[in-house]
Amino acid sequence: MGKKSYPLHPPTPHIPPPTLCVRNPGLEAAQREIKSLSASIPTDADDGERNRVLSQLQSIINQLEKVQNGTTTYLKAQELLLSANNKIKRLQIK
């Protein structure tokens, strides 16, 4: 009988490396909306317009605060929260 040869290591399936940036459509939409809202306010905006934007920013903040700690999107949500809160502060000063 002939000697049977076996490979040293069994073939392994290709597993792609983990990505550092996890795409999250909800966070991406929040980021776009924050930028859009801050860009849409003229410096001479009336109180009604300012209040509308403040309300929308607060709504975004409420959604971002729901992202749970320990999830892959938590740090990005915290970054967006900081941005939205800063924009609210700037609007309230004017």
**pLDDT tens track for 25-55:** 778 888 888 888 777 766 666 778 888 888 8
Can you tell me the distance from the alpha carbon of 3 to that of 81, in angstroms, rounded to the nearest whole number? Answer: 66
Residue 52 host element (H or E): helix 47-64
Q: Which of 30-39, 51-60, 64-73 has the lowest mean pLDDT?
A: 30-39
pLDDT at 21: 46
**pLDDT tens track for 9-27:** 555 555 554 444 446 777 8
> Per the confidence metrics, is the pTM higher than 0.85?
no
Average pLDDT, the chain: 77
Can you tell me the distance from the alpha carbon of 16 to that of 32, in angstroms, rounded to the nearest whole number? Answer: 29
